[in-house]
Chains A and B, each alone.
Chain A
């Protein structure tokens, strides 16, 4: 029995991104299914998968057209008030798969859905899965037919797990789908949208104040739209601010269809990088806000935390609101130790890994997905960040840091350290 596979940050960087060990590349081994990998295998079980994401369009309903197994875990959230009466299922049998006859029944299923609802929905989201990916189903055509027959907008959502590592992953595609019902209208100079997440940013994020200080009047987010009328106002934006690379395709689509340009920022936890990003944002939109007080406040909170708890040794996981390697890098830069990181190394976070390798070469990098993680023996850490780490270190203090509300900016960092302080104080 082999021990859990890991490489140090320095070892990985020495070999280079093109020579990542097989155990750190998910397509080169079986994928271990443990509670720490649930978000990879079944993103909808916790947080947002395609099904839940598709229903981000206010007052919409979803028809899942698939074998029963694909909708099995839907009962986890189907009973919650926000999803009540919003999920319907058209189940495929073996004959459907062989003949494709299920496609002829979608219109009837939509008719039954509409008849069963007290209120007419804003749109029908039709979610299809790997089966239709392999059958080569033209769902766009079927959606057009539904719209013609029932006079209702209809949008396809592709829950194609088979394509999850493609450039346009299912989660990137569904982000495009949920904005696809917007129609071009006159843009307002002082309106903007924040794109990237299916829940809103934390209300306390300084980004709202900074943007308002720059003269922005309306900052809209999909997750804050309660009605379809509010949703339609998203197309008034003068620009989109994209905070998650998975929303880039949606922003490009909105740029093309609605002539709304976009600016990209990343969710970061390194205060100096957040400061730098705000400087770039200021330049891009010609604003004159000052984020220095927030920066200073965050530096003080981190310093106070360090003084109170000392030079802690962390484990950082990847099931959290952020990038595991970037958070590890922040911790090291702020004077903490990071014993181990559970992460998927990709093009984006490799640049953080390179810096981490310089500052903390011995930090171990594990992949949650490696079969050898069955034999993971706990590293010696003081505390953890990440829901996957809770599985590995149930007896250590730590935080899951994957609430539905999205942390962002300096206040995200403050909240992270405050939550850690609370967890450590409870110990």
Chain B
């Protein structure tokens, strides 16, 4: 049955992805929910939350707010928080409740800007899509809103697009920076981690962008068109311990399950162009090989595993039981994917 999970827990949703992009930029972030979504985003999907304060709030919607569509009440609350705390911008992220009552997010955005006098961004998330969908909207709006000026290029300056904790499994800027240096990337700016809104405003200074997540590809194309910044697609964030496990794998038929750009990088690392890459998340045909697939769910993966015999699977261990029940008998190499299991590389879940 489609959309039915018996092995896996639901993956990171779009609202978590949207928040992760804006988390460090000093704005007021309002999750337009009754509380549970904010709890899930912060308590589970945002590993920076425990030690890096950010002004993330729940709108605290109640049934009558939803039934009556009290947008003005939300803007009043937002305005009060702005008076108390200030902020560079306001971000309103929708969730299933505003999706069901068809809240006009554009109108909320206009109302917020008018009342607060600072940029206000409203992102249309529904909780039914995955993190990459929310990230894609967030990346684009971030640069559309703040990267306005055309500045002279700074020699060697390289922007990294898409490197959120959700995508990479790293919550510390320093961990990612170290991996970039190991891979020969100097003078880099990791947008959304360890950078400020000023860095975004000066995005046009970059000579090149590196796209590490499909969710940032649209933004890279936008920046190329607007500022003439070329981009390269690669994934320099595969941890050493994973590289150690996957290099030297002897397998006739290998399957890699991960977000597409990272999966492609693994395929390169194991030097096996015939390996198949599947992903539960965004899928770009032009970046795929002939047998690569976008998975629609557990049943889809089960069918594919029954149809083709693999010797080795590289994926988050949360998926292993499903693969075994589908008849897979080969070697399973665990490569944690935060959006699936909530596991990362430089932290453990703190709850």
Contact = CB atoms under 8 A, between A and B. Distances in A.
A binds B: yes
B9 A72 contact: yes
A113 interface: yes
A68 interface: yes
B22 to A, nearest CB: 14
Nearest to B44: A73
- For chain A, which range describes its interface: under 10, 10 to 19, 20 to 34, or 35 or more residues? 35 or more
Interface string A142-163: 0000000000000000011111
Contact of B84 (A27, A31, A371): A371
Nearest to A76: B351
Contact of B60 (A26, A42, A69): A26
A118 B217 CA distance: 45
Contact of B126 (A28, A88, A94): A94
B31 interface: yes
Contacts of B225: none
A104 interface: no
A108 interface: yes
B40 interface: yes
B57 A30 contact: yes
A71 B97 contact: no
A375 interface: yes
B151 interface: no
Nearest to B343: A75
A69 B96 contact: yes
Contacts of B40: 42, 45, 69-70, 72-73
Interface stretch (A130-138, A226-234, A313-321, A336-344): A130-138
Contacts of B95: 69
Given A67-B96, A97-B100, A374 B55 contact: yes
Nearest to B51: A35
Nearest to A102: B3
A215 B43 CA distance: 47
Contacts of B80: 29-30, 371
Contacts of A74: 9-10
A108 B2 CA distance: 11
Contact of A2 (B15, B37, B85): B85
B127 interface: yes
Interface residues of B, number: 65
B85 A374 contact: yes
B45 interface: yes
Nearest to A5: B84
Contact of B37 (A69, A78, A91): A69
Given A2-B85, A129-B96, A75 B342 contact: yes
Nearest to B59: A30
B44 A72 contact: yes
Interface stretch (B61-69, B177-185, B328-336): B61-69
Given A67-B128, A73-B40, A129-B96, A161 B34 contact: yes
With a 10 A CB-CB cut-off, give which of A46, A97, A109, A371 has the most chain B CB atoms: A371
Contacts of A135: 100
Nearest to A391: B50
Contact of B58 (A31, A66, A93): A31
Nearest to B33: A161
B16 interface: yes
Nearest to A97: B100
A28 B78 CA distance: 11
Nearest to B67: A134
B154 interface: no
A65 B175 CA distance: 38
B84 A67 contact: no
B20 interface: no
B126 to A, nearest CB: 6
B81 A92 contact: no
Contact of B128 (A30, A46, A93, A108): A93
B31 to A, nearest CB: 7
Pick from A29, A68, A70, A160 the residue with the most CB of B within 10 Å.
A68
B39 A371 contact: no
A162 B81 contact: no
Contacts of A30: 30, 57-60, 77-78, 80-81
Given A68-B11, A74-B10, A112-B1, A32 B57 contact: yes
Contact of A371 (B33, B55, B100): B55
Contacts of A162: 34, 61-63, 66, 97
A54 to B, nearest CB: 15
Contact of A29 (B9, B44, B81, B349): B81
A116 interface: yes
A71 B83 CA distance: 35
B200 to A, nearest CB: 22
Nearest to B46: A33
18 contacts: A28-B77, A30-B58, A32-B56, A34-B53, A35-B43, A38-B42, A41-B39, A45-B43, A69-B16, A89-B6, A89-B10, A97-B126, A129-B36, A131-B96, A135-B100, A161-B34, A161-B36, A162-B63
Interface of A: 1-2, 26-35, 38, 40-43, 45-46, 66-76, 78, 87-94, 97, 105, 108-109, 112-113, 116, 129-131, 133-135, 159-166, 371-372, 374-375
Given A75-B341, A94-B128, 13 more contacts: A1-B84, A30-B78, A42-B36, A70-B96, A71-B9, A72-B45, A130-B36, A134-B66, A161-B33, A162-B34, A164-B35, A164-B62, A374-B85
